[in-house]
Structure 1
Amino acid sequence: MIKTVALVSLSAGTIGEDFVKHEVNIGLKRLEQFGLHVKIMPHAMKGIEYVKNHPKERANDLLAAICDEEVDMILCAIGGDDTYRLLPYLFKNNELKEAIEKAEKRKIFLGFSDTTMNHLMLHKLGFGTFYGQSFLADVCEMEDDMLPYTKKFFEELIKTGNIKEIVPSDVWYEERTDWSESAVGTERTKHENEGFQLLQGKPVFAGKILGGCLESMYDIFDNSRYPDTISLCEKYNLFPSLEDWRGKILLLETSEEQPDPKHYRKMVETLKKVGVFDVVSGVICGKPMNELYFDEYKKIIVDVIDNPNISVVANINIGHATPRCIIPFGIEAEVDAVNQKIRFA
């Protein structure tokens, strides 16, 4: 049972801005209604500019949350685009490793999007994490309650410390275009959801799941966004080795940037060049936001992998399309497209 949650801004400092104050207040109240005590880490609410310019302080917040014996769960505020900048402050002098070793209990770590970088950082040290939801994107939902499918998994995680199985959501929601205070209480537009879609390969496959936001993983090999991403990520060996990927299930989902098919192909081809598709047991793909380019993405992933023996299942309710489930990393999983379930050991 989770009792105390540490709220961290490891990427963007959005929750410190006035324009989201109404959302933050909703989210904090909801966490309290779950019976949770919330610890807002010292720099989490400093705002976008401060957080952007102080990666060391972001790293310190993570280290402090890991070492705080009251904290049961570390909840990421939101994603962003420069989480890789925490690497020197977590690995140069083994700061993250020592914090994990000193902690008397293992914390639950939950986040998605650019938090993919943090998941990979913690994975390097054998720290299992949970992918799929964040404070601002999910707990702060402006409907009268969290979206039911999303809430189901969040409640399961805080009550049991784990996720047993995932089934598809009956519906999916269009992303909001109005985030103002006047939109509080308004419902999202929803559509019927089709369930998990087997694109190729065996319908049942197993392995530990790892991956996340495709754009974040692509940034490890590309300097288009920031000039030092490749050098920093190489220096600290952020991307797992092929031996580490062997037998795992690769999770891929796309961000709110909604990459066009040409860019999506380029990013997937980059993972192919690295050799990931030669060693994984299968691939699961999140539904893209608003289903934009969904048909194109499905054709591209099959075309680029170019191996019909690799199982690929799409339309998982994870990542940037709502609602969102939560996927444990580092736990044996079985994907069953026939029975529309992902089960965890």
Structure 2
Amino acid sequence: MITPSYPPKPVPGDRIAVISPSGGLPGVLPLPYELGLRRLREDYGLEPVEYPTTRTMGATPQARADDIHAAFADPEVKAVIASIGGSDQITVLPLLDREVLRAHPKPFFGMSDNTNLLLYLRNAGIVGYHGASVMAELGRPGAMHPQTADSLRAALFTSGAYELRPAERWRDTARDWADPATFEAEPETRPGTGWTWLNADQVVEGRSWGGCLEIIAWLLMADREISHDLSDYDGQVLFLETSEEMPSGEEVFHTLRNMGERGLLQRFSALLMGRPKTWDFLRPHTPEEAARYAAAQRTAVQRALDAYAPGLLTVFDVDLGHTDPQLVIPYGGTVRVDGPARRITVTY
């Protein structure tokens, strides 16, 4: 496995490509998208550049692959960000030209279904950034969460160490993006509960690997972008999170169990488990139901770890993935997990 390198960073005034590798949801729900574009311009000083499929629902995998190639190959574009996630980016991967991306390394920002492209870039030797899509994070009603905004700014423009900190206030509920009233006020948040540490008598440092658990499961099933030389994963830091599809505790256990049966789970030196998404429009859990769902997921993760990776340094409820605030994780970049000090530091 190639050790990924950090691509050059943009500076304010540069152009940033906005692409939709999974689906052109900006064309259906323009309000959070336009707000996200405005914040890229006004808050970060970057000039967004759109491509043919950025706002096109139903674009073919080839058309989306073409946009990825064009965004990376354009010498005037200094970074790339996804508009949103989706569910079929895996069909784009076989159409990508790894040499085109490798010849034009750029920071790529995305999460959820964009785990596909992040892993593809990692395997091409390029550090990406898990987090901060245009619609969900930059297009947050009222204002960006300050912790998300600060993490994104550091990941975009700086190259040093950055300490992740537990959320003081957080949420995983949402309001209707099609309703203009949604964007007139800050979303409701609840007090932070901190992170939970297991086997925290260790300090580990390694390159990160992982992303959205459901996407990792699909990639494993398709045998795509996963190394067959399991020693490639020795000592790396695994980070995982679950999406608004809210897989059951049993589904989470089965995925981790199968990673263990493959011999993969036990290779990592630490696990950062994102705070689970516990609410969706299709499943609007009460606070009590949400708490039970989160507890069931934690039990499932612990069950798999007990069977395949006992003693693994693990941190639960890290503010990454489908939660707000969302801390950016350098995908393939360096992560240091200091158990005794209860500190997580990433290198952007």
Distance 2:200 2:50 in 1: 45
Deviation at 1:285, TM superposition (A): 0.2
1:64 matched to 2:70? The reply is yes
Distance 1:56 1:127 in 2: 22
CA RMSD after TM alignment: 1.8
Deviation at 1:280, TM superposition (A): 0.8
Residue by residue, what CA displacement relative to the aligned partner does 1:4-46 show, whole Å, maximum 9, x if unpaired?
11001001211122xx112222111111102111101222111
Choose from 73, 79, 82 the match for 2:85.
Answer: 79
Gap change, CA 1:339 and 1:194, over 3 Å in 2: farther
* Contact 1:288-1:294 at 8 Å conserved across structures: yes
Q: Secondary structure at the match of 1:130?
A: strand
1:239 matched to 2:226? The reply is yes
The aligned residue for residue 7 of structure 2 is none
Distance 1:161 1:5 in 2: 18
Distance 1:219 1:139 in 2: 27
Distance 2:100 2:82 in 1: 21
1:37 matched to 2:36? The reply is no
The aligned residue for residue 192 of structure 1 is 191
Residue by residue, what CA displacement relative to the aligned partner does 1:272-297 show, whole Å, maximum 9, x if unpaired?
12211221111110001245522222
1:6 matched to 2:8? The reply is no
Deviation at 1:97, TM superposition (A): 1.7
Greater alpha carbon shift after TM alignment, 161-170 vs 171-180? 161-170
Choose from 142, 156, 159 the match for 1:158.
Answer: 156
The aligned residue for residue 294 of structure 1 is 294
Distance 1:44 1:163 in 2: 32
Deviation at 1:301, TM superposition (A): 1.2
Distance 2:253 2:172 in 1: 24
Structure 1 moving runs of 4+ over 3 Å: 200-203, 337-340
The aligned residue for residue 174 of structure 2 is 176
* Contact 2:270-2:337 at 8 Å conserved across structures: no
Residue by residue, what CA displacement relative to the aligned partner does 1:188-218 show, whole Å, maximum 9, x if unpaired?
2211112221133535322111100000111
Residue by residue, what CA displacement relative to the aligned partner does 1:75-111 show, whole Å, maximum 9, x if unpaired?
0111111111012211xxxx2223422x2xx311110
* Contact 1:199-1:298 at 8 Å conserved across structures: no
Choose from 309, 314, 317 the match for 1:315.
Answer: 317
Q: Secondary structure at the match of 1:7?
A: strand
For 1:245, the aligned partner's letter is: Y
Alignment gaps of 5+ in structure 2: 1-9, 279-289
Residue by residue, what CA displacement relative to the aligned partner does 1:45-71 show, whole Å, maximum 9, x if unpaired?
11x22x2xx001111111111111111
* Contact 1:30-1:139 at 8 Å conserved across structures: yes
The aligned residue for residue 211 of structure 1 is 210
Distance 1:120 1:309 in 2: 27
* Contact 1:133-1:319 at 8 Å conserved across structures: no
Choose from 229, 241, 264 the match for 1:253.
Answer: 241
Distance 2:258 2:146 in 1: 36
Q: Secondary structure at the match of 1:220?
A: helix
The aligned residue for residue 227 of structure 1 is none
* Contact 1:289-1:322 at 8 Å conserved across structures: no
Sequence identity (%): 27
Greater alpha carbon shift after TM alignment, 298-307 vs 162-171? 162-171
Q: Secondary structure at the match of 1:81?
A: coil
Greater alpha carbon shift after TM alignment, 261-270 vs 250-259? 261-270
For 2:78, the aligned partner's letter is: D
Deviation at 1:115, TM superposition (A): 0.6
The alignment of Structure 1 onto Structure 2 pairs a total of residues equal to 319
Gap change, CA 1:163 and 1:133, over 3 Å in 2: farther
Distance 1:324 1:162 in 2: 19
Distance 2:161 2:61 in 1: 31
Taking structure 2 as the reference length, the TM-score comes to 0.86
Residue by residue, what CA displacement relative to the aligned partner does 1:318-343 show, whole Å, maximum 9, x if unpaired?
00111101011222221124434222
Taking structure 1 as the reference length, the TM-score comes to 0.87
Deviation at 1:312, TM superposition (A): 1.2
Deviation at 1:125, TM superposition (A): 1.1
